[in-house]
Structures are given as structure tokens and as C-alpha cells.
Copies of this chain bind each other. A is one copy, B any other.
Amino acid sequence: MLGLMQNQPLLISSLLTFAERHHGDGEIVSRRVEGDIHRTTYRQLAGRARQLASALDAQGLAMGERVASIAWNGYRHMEMYFGVSGSGRVLHTINPRLHPEQIAWVVNHAEDRVLCFDMTFLPIVQAIHSHCPTVQKWVMLCDADKLPADSGIPNLVSYEAWIGAMRTDYAWPQFDENTASSICYTSGTTGNPKGVLYSHRSSVLHAYAAALPDVMCLSSRDAVLPVVPMFHVNAWGIPYSAALTGCKLVFPGPALDGKSVYELIEAEGVTFAAGVPTVWQMLLTHVRSQGQKFSSLTRTVIGGAACPPAMIAAFEDEFGVHVLHAWGMTETSPLGTLCTPKKKQLAWPLEQQRALQQKQGRAICGVDMKIVGGDGQELPWDGKTYGDLLVRGPWILERYFKGDSPLVEDASGLGWFPTGDVATIDADGFMHITDRSKDVIKSGGEWISSIDVENIAMGHPAVAMAACIGMPHPKWDERPIVAIALKPGASATREDILAFYEGKTAKWQIPDDVVFVDAIPLGATGKMLKTRLREQLAGYKLPGL
């Protein structure tokens, strides 16, 4: 027997319609590529999103066809989030930090029909346009008078000219909530990028969950600064959650340096900011150097990479800004866990609370997670045992676009997504990433966290960067070695580094060897490319073998 409640699909357009009707004068402030500060409202944004949808109709784009963006965080990008998805097309957000060849690859793989880009990225588009035959229209996100006369891109139009003449009374279509809404490619460190195709349902459910008090705690009284880019897993879903709450939105555009971000926070009364550790480090460095304080910022979500303990302490103790450590992936929309304390933990000693904050946190309702051993059996939640982290939920990937399903079925037939992370979970459900599955070193039946090995080396004053990888060993299967890039002008010997491990970890977890390199190879998003490091070390043999 079915219930008798209204059969109303969860659509991204409904979030915008809600904001337009119930928070029409809610502010959206953007620092633009043009250099100025632009102000608009949800009401105006909704009108322009409808104009964009009309423009896509006029272009003849069918439901489900892809529209790409290469853009900073700003109101025009926000219009694309709602105008493209709301009209039934699929928004493809492209990471401009990828190599142009990779960008052309994802454009072709997604078969993008329209590509809109910020002026900053004109050189990228000039490099790729002739290799992207599916794209019918190239649109620069600017006024008509900013369009370069000699771009070399056929039929290039300005976004404002394109949408400006369109009707604002477009009616959002109603359709199945499982319809695809947007696609984001993983910046895989191995192989080609893989496309994650979100649905309206997954995006709206994630928007509700992300705004919960135990997650980002977003209300209409917040002013939210997503420093995390809108080309990184939908800026962690903030554009959708913002419309759902009617909060003020503050977009930083291209200016992610400490001074610009700080000034925007203060000028716009930002209460909540979300970003990755590297950007926050720039902000902290700037604010400290100027002896400044935050007058409105109360909390920040930090994810994308593990947040260093010193950064947590700085935000909390120096600046009174509460730090929420988060974990997620492109495949998880992205929010999987968030480190908000439980009630009993509020009574813990400060040191213990700070230690808790270093964990990636507990599952958001909707997500379930578990850790499993090599045999696929679930491992205990004791905060010590670690295993492969698996997750499931309505905003977790089922299969890749034009690809396979990576899901692993459990005994009752439920599918779990293997995250590729290795983690512990404690008795209170707090998860802590200890390594990537492909990086963990399997030595004599025990696992050694490459990140732990690297973190110790990083504490040595001469070390700029360290990368730990496993090398084949006939008796132990694998043994760790550590590759070291020294700071300019600094020096250290193999023996110095190995001696530095004494007393800091178990003897069997100390690497067998140290290899000095000029630089650790990094990918487009700043992640270490250990595969490339392994290639560089082809022919290497462990000492004594």
C-alpha cells in the first residue's frame, strides 16, 4: 500500500524557486574577474537562471545534454548551477587546473555542447577549442564589450549578450528526480578521469543533509563564503544548501590570497567559510602578519585534505573560529563525514577535544560507512583497527559515467562504494583516515600508514616534502622507503633521517631506506603522484636485497 502524500519530485529548480519566493532579497555578493564587487539577490538570480534556461532552449539543447563551465566562484556560475540543471540539462564543472589535454579529454568524454568560461581561462579555451568537436557554442562569462575581437574561437559570444535578450518567464520543467543534474570528473592520480553523474535527487538530499546542525549548520542568518571552488564537487554542495536556507552567499572569484579573502570576510560579515588547508594557510599567514582578528567568522569547514593539527589550534585558540574537519570525495557528492562533537565530548579536556578534531568525523545521516579487512569482513570500531573504508547512501556513486560500477555487495545484497581510503572508526563512530588504500604498506600481515611515515619526516627541519612508498620484499611482502625533497639550502643524510624516526614510531614501521629527490611529483590539485615517483624509482632495490 502506498502513502497518499503529494508526489513532488526533488528538483534543483525547486530550491531556487524556494529562495526566490521566500528569500527573494537574500544577498549574493561576488568578487569578479573584472575586479569589482558585484551584488545581486536570489530573486534576480532566479530571473537570470530562467534566461539562461531559455537560451539553452533557443540553442536547441535536449534534456540531458551537457553544458560545461570553466569558472571561478561567482554569481554567473551560480546561475549555471540552476539554469542548466533546472532546465534538465547536465552541468559539467571543469577544473581549470587540469592540463589542457585533460580538459579536452573530459569535454570530449562528456560530449559537452556548450562551454562557458571566465575571462581568466581564455588561453585554455584557445588551446582546446579545435580539439572539441562536440561543442557547438563557446560562451565567455562577461559583458559583450569585454569580448576579445581576435580570440580565434569561432562564434564566441558573451554570456550577457547571449542570455540578455531571453525571456525571464521561463517555467521550470517538472521531471523524474533521478534525472542527471551535473557531472564532475575525478582528478584521478592514475588513469583517465572518471565522471560522476549526480542526480537532482542526490543533490537535493545532500543539500538538506549538508545544512543540518551537525553538518554545516546553515541558516538564513548565515553569510557563507565557499572558498572551495565550484569546480570541486559542486563547492561541497553549498550553492544548493544556500538556496535551501536563503543564507547570504559571498563568492571570492579568483582572489584566493589571504588579504583578499580576509577583506571579503570582514566586509560582508561572513559567518561561515569552507575551504581546503592550503587556502586557509594563506589566510592565517596574512591575518597573523597584520595582527588582525575575525569579527564575524564563527566556524569553518576544512576538507579536501587532512587539516594539520596546528591549523586547527590556530583557528580555535588564536582566532576563536570553530574548525569542522570534513571528509568526502567526488563520488560522495561530497559530504560523507563531518567532525561535529557529540554532547559528552563537549565535557572532554581541551587536548582530547583537539585530538578528536583531527579525525574526519562521523557519518552524516543518509551515509553509512564501515571498514573492512582484506577478506571483506567488517572490522571493529575501536579507533585502532584500520581497514578499507566503504560507504553507501543516496548521494554516493553507483557507477561511473560510461563506466563500471565499483560497488562491493555485502551479504544482504547492499552495494557499498570502496573509497580507496584506509581508516579507523572509534566507538563513537568517528572516522579517521590513515592512508590511501593504494599507498598503505602491507608489511608482514600488518599495515603501515604511508602518511604516518611522511608526517614524521616532515617534522625534520631540513625536509620540505616527504613521500613514503612500499617496495617489494621477499619476506615481508612490502617494506616502506621514504623519498625526501630537502628545503633549499638545507642538508641531511640518510642516517639523520632514519635516526629522526627513533622513538617516534614502532621499530618495524621505520622505513628501510631514504631516497633524496629534487622534488616530489605533484598532480593538478596538489596531490602527490606516487605512481610517477614509483616510475622515477624504477630499478630501485631495497638495501640488502
**Residues of A at under 8 Å CB distance from B?**
1-8, 10, 15, 17-18, 21-23, 63-64, 90, 171, 174, 176, 178-181, 196-202, 205, 208-209, 211-214, 217-223, 244-246, 248, 333, 340-343, 346, 362-363, 365-366, 368, 392-401, 407, 412, 414-415, 417, 429
Given A208-B209, A212-B208; A5-B343 close (CB under 8 Å): no
Contact A246 to B342, CB < 8 A, known contacts A362-B22, A392-B8: yes
Asked whether A4 lies within 8 Å of B399 as measured between CB atoms, the reply is yes
Bound Cα distance A196, B366 (Å): 26
Q: How far is the CA of A429 from the CA of B1 in the complex (A)?
A: 36
Q: How far is the CB of A229 from chain B (nearest CB, A)?
A: 21
Given contacts A246-B342, A429-B23, whether A4 and B368 have CB atoms under 8 Å apart is no
Contact A5 B395 (CB under 8 A): yes
Question: Using Cβ atoms and an 8 Å threshold, which residues of chain B touch A22?
Answer: 362-363, 365, 429
Partner of A368, one of B21, B365, B417: B21
Report the bound CA distance from A208 to B397 in whole Å.
21
Chain B neighbourhood of A333, CB < 8 A? 5
- Assuming the A-B contacts A394-B10, A429-B21, are A2 and B199 also in contact, with contact meaning beta carbons closer than 8 angstroms in the complex? yes
Q: Do A398 and B342 form a contact, CB below 8 Å, given A245-B213, A365-B18, A429-B23?
A: no
Q: A343-B220, A429-B21 are in contact. Are A202 and B398 (CB under 8 A)?
A: no
A174 CB, nearest partner CB in chain B, Å: 8
> Within 8 Å CB of A5, what residues of B?
197-199, 201-202, 333, 394-398
A15 contacts across to B, CB distance below 8 A: 365
CB distance from A3 to the nearest CB of B (A): 3
Q: Find out whether the CB atom of A6 lies under 8 angstroms from the CB atom of B221.
A: no
Choose from B7, B17, B214, B412 the contact partner of A220 (Cβ within 8 Å): B214
Contact A1 B219 (CB under 8 A): no
In the assembled complex, 14 residue pairs joining A and B whose CB atoms fall closer than 8 Å, in A order, are A1-B180, A2-B178, A3-B198, A4-B399, A6-B393, A6-B394, A7-B178, A18-B368, A21-B363, A21-B429, A22-B365, A213-B213, A213-B245, A219-B340
Most chain B beta-carbon contacts within 10 A, residue among A5, A392, A400, A414: A5
Q: How far apart are A355's CB and chain B's nearest CB, in angstroms?
A: 19
Of residues A18, A220, A244, A246, which shows the largest number of chain B Cβ atoms within 10 Å of its Cβ?
A220
In chain B, what residue has the closest Cβ to A182?
A: B3
Q: Which residues on B sit within 8 Å (CB–CB) of A220? A: 214, 340, 342-343
Taking chain A's interface residues, is the majority helix, strand, or loop, or is none over half, making it mixed?
loop
B18 touches A180 (CB 8 A): no
Beyond A220-B340, A221-B341, A363-B18, whether A3 also contacts B213 by CB under 8 A is: no
- The distance in angstroms between the C-alpha atoms of A324 and B332, with both chains bound, is 34
Among A3, A7, A202, the one with the most B-chain Cβ atoms within 10 Å of its Cβ is A3
A168 vs chain B, min Cβ distance (A) = 16
Tell me if B245 and A214 are in contact (CB < 8 A).
Answer: yes
Chain B min CB distance to A348 (Å): 13
**A3-B212 in contact given A244-B365, A346-B221 (Cβ < 8 Å):** no
User: How far does the Cβ of A411 sit from chain B's closest Cβ, in whole Å?
Assistant: 10
- Residues on B with beta carbons closer than 8 Å to the beta carbon of A174: 414
The 6 closest A-B pairs by CB, nearest first: A3-B199, A1-B64, A213-B219, A5-B202, A208-B208, A22-B429
- Report how far A199 CA is from B6 CA in the complex, Å: 10
Chain B residues lying within 8 Å of A343, measured Cβ to Cβ, are 220-223, 248
A201 touches B398 (CB 8 A): no
- Tell which of A178, A218, A333 has the most Cβ of chain B within 10 Å: A178
- By a CB distance below 8 angstroms, the chain B residues around A217 are 213, 219
In the complex, which residue of chain B has the Cβ closest to the Cβ of A417? B6
Chain B neighbourhood of A201, CB < 8 A? 3, 5
Closest Cβ of chain B to A56, distance in Å, is 15
Bound Cα distance from A400 to B3, whole angstroms:
10
Taking CB as reference atom, which chain B residue is nearest A344? Answer: B25
Q: By the criterion CB–CB under 8 Å, are B365 and A1 in contact? A: no
Interfacial chain B residues near A368, Cβ < 8 Å: 17-18, 21
**Apart from A2-B178, A3-B181, A4-B196, what are 9 other A-B pairs with CB-CB below 8 Å?**
A1-B64, A3-B198, A4-B397, A5-B198, A6-B397, A6-B415, A18-B365, A214-B219, A223-B343
Q: Give CA–CA (A4, B397) in the complex, Å.
A: 6
In the bound complex, how far is the Cα of B321 from the Cα of A402, in angstroms?
Answer: 55
Note all chain B residues with C-beta closer than 8 A to A212.
208, 211-213, 219, 245
Q: Quick check: B6 and A392 within 8 Å, CB to CB?
A: yes
Contact in complex: A179, B221 (CB < 8 Å): no
What CA separation (Å) do A333 and B6 show in the bound complex?
Answer: 11
- With both chains docked as a complex, state the minimum distance between the C-beta of A439 and any C-beta of chain B, in angstroms: 26
| Cα A64 to Cα B4 with chains together (Å) | 13
Tell me the bound Cα distance from A214 to B222 in angstroms. 11
The answer to whether A63 and B401 touch (CB under 8 A), given A6-B394, A365-B245, A412-B171, is no
